[in-house]
Each structure stands twice: as structure tokens, then as C-alpha cells.
Amino acid sequence: MSRDAAIGKHLAALREQAQLKQNELAKKLEWSAAVLSRVESGERPLSADELDIVLRGIGTPEAIRLKEVLARRWERLPEPPLGDPDADLLWQAEQAAAKVRTLADQPNVKQFFERRLTRFEDELRAAGQQVLDKRYRVAFVGTIAIGKSTSICRIEGLELPTSKGMPGTVLETGGGGITICDVHVRRGPGYGLIIEPCAEDDIRHHVMDFAHSLLNPVKVGDDDDAGAGSPPGISREIDRALRSMTGLRRRRSERKPDGSIIPPGDDARDLAASMPDARALAVEILARMELHKRDRRDLWHDAGEGKPPLVWLQEAFEKINNGRHPEFTLPKRIEVVIPQAILGDDAVSVTLIDSRGIDDLAARADLEQHFDDAHTLVMLCTLFPQAPSTEVRQLLARAKEAGVRSLHSHAAILALARTGEALAVKFEGYPAQTDQEGYELKGDEVRLKLHPLGLDHLPVVFFNAAEDPPEALRAFIVERIDAIRTSHRASLREIIDGANDLLANYEKAQAQETMRTASRRLTLWLAGNANVPRSSPRRVHESLLSTTRAAHWKTISATISRRGGWPNLDYAHQLSHGARRIATQIAKSKMEAFKTLAFSVIKDEELAEAHNLVRQAVRALESGFDEMIRNVQLVGESIYADDLREDLEFWRACSAVAGRGYKERINERNQHWFEEQRQGEAETRVMELVAQKWSEAVAAAQALLPEG
């Protein structure tokens, strides 16, 4: 958007806030309504005098102040859009960054101060960007058939009346295994659907799994007695979509007019019976899908069609989600676009993410990535009686052991209740008298279960989609997003205050002496803790082994057929988690010890002039820790990526495993590959990187502290 267009749009907003119609303001200005309309649309730029006339005509304090805002010149930080509620805070950051840079450029600045000034400028930019970014995501994570889609539709009003009393949802729901991929609900220009397609390789793998499942159907009672010759994992959603795309449908039994019954049938199994070779069957299935015709990526509601928007959206989503739309391929992600602000909040841009339900393993990359995003709220969904479910506790435990430091502000528990469940909760043998009392009692139980993880203060909310007003859940989510925004603002204010404090005390000898006194304890600690052990009792592949032991054999079989690259059990992701866990175990306790020492200095009022210096040193060490975790994660993902994927002999051997003890024997092969063939190569690389990055983090903190 051009600057003239942005100014015009903001003037229109100020006029509407002043409850002035366009023609009313035009009369006050003695302008024609057409001219004012062109100004507000950005077609006609305003001179400085004309802008003054318009602003005085609107007459509100916000309008009068706009000229001052427009006069600001942004050089260090990106300029926020007009009307940004954080514009003044960001301007303070811009001014502090400019002053810091001016002082740092002076030739006589001591090296100690120059390092602090340069770091302040970097911190102001990074923290300012977090505050400036108003794009937030709310990821609903939980098991299948738990009610995530229903909750999202309830809070956004994506519902249609039904004859059963309860409204129907626009997003397709059922008994689990319904949604084929992640669904993002966001605001846009109208009602529509945007599809990110699956990659061709992924589609081919799905088709091959489908072919194997047709040729080798699972027998009742099959469990660990599986492996070679057994069908790998194919979800109900993919099975259903492939049948729709190929016309290979199941047929229900029918009763003929003469009373005889036509038995049920299965076109796909009939085809498989005529083509016993899996590859040939897969080729035939791919040919029937006609992927070359399925190249459409978006679909938009046309009012001329005569269908209400939500009815159209429900029907279009169901077709694409089930593979019944002839122009769309298998989706990797579906974006549901609606014209109103998500959560009713225009101040931020919010996307609601209905993640694929957990049907086997919770330890998935697509779920755990949300914990690392500074603008994502993770709503951990759990059934009310199970709250917090095993899957939720596993995700939280893994996030903690992987070094995630923002769980208290960026995660929350959503316990989804059914009618009567809250009243069934008892305290000392007596049932709850109201739903609210039941919620409170259950909340105490949830916090007790989270206490061993050190997360008993995690926010908890309860919601019964059949009875509770959606406004309460919507308000809770808005409150949690506000808490994230507040934490971003608080971080920026702390940095601004520290920068201004340094600028104010730069030439004060007493302040410099106080800083030297305060820093002595910190310097000694840092000097004694710059090194970390060169070996770890943990192994990088331990996470992979434990996850494989917990997985269903179908999940293991599916990832083996993809050479370790299936999202439900991704070898690279499990190795990256194992690497992060090692790094966190080694360095987090050291970081917490330094913070404890630093906070003891901050509590000393006699050292008040050094408090901002100490806070900056803590931030430097925390930043170094976070960078170390990110780097270690990349090493864990990539160190074996090519060798492992290209070791065809290993994957063929795994594919040949069958029978009882299937998972144990697969893990034996996994363990042999990492421990015998690679002999601790990953641990060596990880420990070298941890030592390097921790040393750099310590050095960054030391560089901020004065000598002596």
C-alpha cells in the first residue's frame, strides 16, 4: 500500500471514529464529497496545509496528533502502519536505537561501552520486530475425535442450523479420522478455500500404501505380528480421499424389490484381485486419479450462485477434504478464508490452526514446531475426564527437555467436556453442584498432574461445545494472545530502559564504578563456567528408539517404506529432538544458575545503577542458549540425513522384518546403524557444537561486563 493510500485509509478511520459521515466532513472543510472520497481512497495526495485542514475538521485528539506521527523518520526500525497501537513504543525504540548508534560511532568510546551499545541496537531491532509483527496463530493440538474442529467453528460462528437442535459445523466433523490435513482459518477478502497440494512423491507413497493395503488386508487381531507383507499405515482420511478420486468405492448391501439382498462390495478390492502386483496396481490407481486435471488451488464464493456463504463453504470444504472435487488433488493444507476478523479482534491478524489429530504418536514435527514460534499460542486439547491427557503431558515434557522457555506464556490446556461430565466430578466423595464447580475441581486436578513438570501454573480453560457460550472460550484465547503481546512489549520496554539508562550514565564515574562492583561476581561465575563436558550419557538416537517402541507397527512400516521420512514418525525430527535434549540437559542448568546469581545482584538496591547491565548480560546468555538449541536441532536433523536416506540396504533389511517382536527387531537395526556403523558420530558433533555455542554465549555476556 502506498503512503498516500495508507494516509487516506487512516483519515477515513479517524473520521468514522469521530462519527462523521463523509459528506458531513466535506461540508465542514468546504470541499466536495468527491474530492474527500478521492483523498480517503489514496487517489489524491494531500499537501501539508491540506492535511492540517482535514485533521482540524475531524477534530479528535487522535486526528490532531497524526501530523506529529507522520513527521517521524524511521531509520533503525521498520515504520509501523498508521494506527498501530504500539507505534509510540516502537518510536521510543527507534529513538533509543538512533542515540545508541550515534554514541557508538564516536571515536573515543571505550570498547566495553561500544559492545554494549552495539548489542542494544541489535536487541532493539529484534524486540521491535516482535512487537511490530501482528500476525498470531492459535494451534489446536490434540487426539482425533476430541472436538477441535467443533470448538473452532463454535467460536467463529462457522455453524449452520440442523434439525437435531445442535448447529452443524462448516468444517467437517465426525468420529475422528475426518480432516485430511491441517486446516487454517483466517481472514480474507471473502469466503473461500485455498489449498496447498501434497507433493507428487507424497501422493505416490500414499497410493503405494493404499495398493499394499488392498492386496494384504489386515487380519483381525494383527498387532506386533506384522511387518513384511503387511500393509503399511494408511489413514482413514487418505483411504477415503483416494477412493473418491479414483471412483473405487465401497458399496453397501441393498435389498431388491423381490426381497433378495445384493451383498456389499468394494471396487478397489475387486481391482486389486485382478492386479496382484502392487506396483502395477499403484500405477493403475494413479492413472485413475488424473492428477494432471487436478491443478486448481483456490475456490471463492460467488453470490450469484444463490447459495448462502456458509452453506457453500461447508459443501466445498467437504468435497475437497474427501477428494470429491474433480479439480483438486490431495491437500497438504487447507486455508478456510472468511471476511470477518478472527476472534472479533481487528488489532491483530489471527489464524486458527486445526491440526491433524494425534492417532498414534504425539511426538510429531508438525505439532512440536508450534512451541518454537514466538507468535503462536498452543492450545493443548484434551477430553475432560482425561485432562491433561497422556499426549498433552508428553508434548509438554518433550518441549521442556528440548529447551523451550516460553510454555507459561505460549501454551494453555483446553479441556473439552461433554454434558454431565463436570457434574460427575467429586470432592471428598461429594459431586459438584454446578458445572462451574466441576470445572474448578477438575482444574485443581489438572494442576496437580502438571506439577511434576513444573507447569502447574499453565492456564487451563474448560469448554462444553453443546452448552457453554462460545464467548467465554473466545475471550480466553484473546486474553492469552494479549499475554503474549504483553510479554513482547515488556521485553522491548526493558531493552529501551536499559539503553536509555546506559546513555544517561555513560559519563558518570560513580555509575561505572557500581557496574564494575556488580559485574565482579558475574565475571567470576562466567569464567568458571565457560566450558561444558565433552561427552554426554545420552545418545542422539535415544529419542528415535523410544518413539519407535511406542509407535504402532503400521506407523513404523509406513516410515520404513518412505526411508524414515513420514511425518507421523520422522527419523530426522526424532534425531533433532535427541540432539536438543542433550544440549538442554548440559546448558540449561548452567543458564539458570547464572540467572539466580544475576537476580541476587538485581535485588541489591545499592547496585541499582548496574541493574540494567546485569539484565542485558542475562538476555545475552539466554539469546546464546536459544541460538545453541536452534543450531543443535539443525545438526540433529542433517548429520545423518543423506547417509541414512541413501542406505538402501538398511531400508531393505528393515522392510524384510516380519512377525512377532517386529518393533523390537526394527529398533535393534536402528540401534546397530547408529551405534555400530556410525559409532557415536552424532554425539561428537553435537557436543562440539554445544561446547562452541555455549562458549560463545558466555563470551557475549562477558563482553558486556567491565573489567576490574
Same domain, 402 and 545: no
How much of the chain, in percent, has pLDDT values that exceed 90?
69
* Whole-number pLDDT of residue 1: 67
| DSSP track, 76-116 | SSPPPPTT-TTHHHHHHHHHHHHHHHHHHTSTT--HHHHHH
Q: pTM for the complete prediction?
A: 0.92
Query: Residue 220 — very low, low, confident or very high, per pLDDT cuts 50/70/90?
Result: very low
Same domain, 552 and 682: yes
Same domain, 390 and 449: yes
Task: Give the pLDDT mean for 197-224.
Answer: 81
CATH number at residue 58: 1.10.260.40
Is 279 strand, coil or helix? helix
* Whole-number pLDDT of residue 302: 93
Same domain, 535 and 623: yes
Domain assignment of residue 432, given as a range: 136-156+347-468
Same domain, 672 and 535: yes
Same domain, 460 and 554: no
Q: Which of 343, 412, 338, 418 is nearest to 385 (CA)?
A: 418
* Whole-number pLDDT of residue 229: 55
Does residue 379 or residue 264 have the better pLDDT?
A: 379
Task: Give the pLDDT mean for 88-93.
Answer: 97
Q: Is the pLDDT of residue 187 over 80?
A: yes
Question: CA–CA separation, 323 vs 184, rounded Å?
Answer: 18
How is residue 324 written as a grid cell?
A: 470429491
Question: CA–CA separation, 315 vs 197, rounded Å?
Answer: 19
Same domain, 140 and 2: no
Q: Is the pLDDT of residue 226 over 70?
A: no
Kindly state whether residue 418 falls inside one of the protein's structural domains. Answer: yes
State how many domains the chain has.
4
Question: CA–CA separation, 501 vs 613, rounded Å?
Answer: 9
Task: Give the pLDDT mean for 524-535.
Answer: 90
Kindly state whether residue 55 falls inside one of the protein's structural domains. Answer: yes
Structure confidence by residue, pLDDT tens digits, 650-659: 999 999 998 8
Q: Work out whether the CA dihedral 131, 137, 143, 148 comes out positive or negative.
A: positive
Structure confidence by residue, pLDDT tens digits, 2-56: 888 888 888 888 988 889 888 888 888 888 888 889 988 888 888 888 888 888 8
Torsion of CA 158, 161, 166, 171, to 10 degrees: -30
The domain boundary, picked from 45, 71, 97, lies at 71
Give the residues across from 462 on adjacent strands.
415
* Whole-number pLDDT of residue 221: 46
Give phi and psi for 250, each to the nearest 5: -85, 145
Pinpoint the alpha helices (H) of 275-327: 278-289, 309-321
Kindly state whether residue 474 falls inside one of the protein's structural domains. Answer: no
* Whole-number pLDDT of residue 428: 84
Kindly state whether residue 102 falls inside one of the protein's structural domains. Answer: no
Kindly state whether residue 499 falls inside one of the protein's structural domains. Answer: no
Same domain, 518 and 635: yes
Kindly state whether residue 111 falls inside one of the protein's structural domains. Answer: no
The domain boundary, picked from 14, 42, 71, lies at 71
Question: CA–CA separation, 139 vs 148, rounded Å?
Answer: 10
Same domain, 545 and 677: yes
How much of the chain, in percent, has pLDDT values that exceed 70?
97
Structure confidence by residue, pLDDT tens digits, 259-305: 778 888 899 999 999 999 999 999 999 999 999 999 999 999 998 88
Query: Residue 331 — very low, low, confident or very high, per pLDDT cuts 50/70/90?
Result: very high
Kindly state whether residue 585 falls inside one of the protein's structural domains. Answer: yes
Query: Residue 166 — very low, low, confident or very high, per pLDDT cuts 50/70/90?
Result: confident
Task: Give the pLDDT mean for 594-607.
Answer: 93
Same domain, 361 and 424: yes
Question: CA–CA separation, 235 vs 218, rounded Å?
Answer: 13
Question: How many Å separate Cα 387 from the centre of its chain?
Answer: 22
Structure confidence by residue, pLDDT tens digits, 444-491: 999 999 999 999 999 999 999 999 999 999 999 999 999 999 999 999
* Whole-number pLDDT of residue 232: 63
Same domain, 592 and 679: yes
Q: Is the pLDDT of residue 505 over 90?
A: no
Q: Is the pLDDT of residue 568 over 60?
A: yes
Three-class SS string for 502-532? HHHHCCCHHHHHHHHHHHHHHHHHHHHCCCC
Kindly state whether residue 336 falls inside one of the protein's structural domains. Answer: no
Same domain, 220 and 354: no
Structure confidence by residue, pLDDT tens digits, 395-429: 999 999 999 999 999 999 999 999 999 999 988 88
* Whole-number pLDDT of residue 534: 81
The domain boundary, picked from 468, 489, 523, lies at 468
Is 333 strand, coil or helix? strand
Calculate the average pLDDT of the chain: 91
Three-class SS string for 224-268? CCCCCCCCCCCCHHHHHHHHHHHCCCEECCEECCCCCEECCEEHH
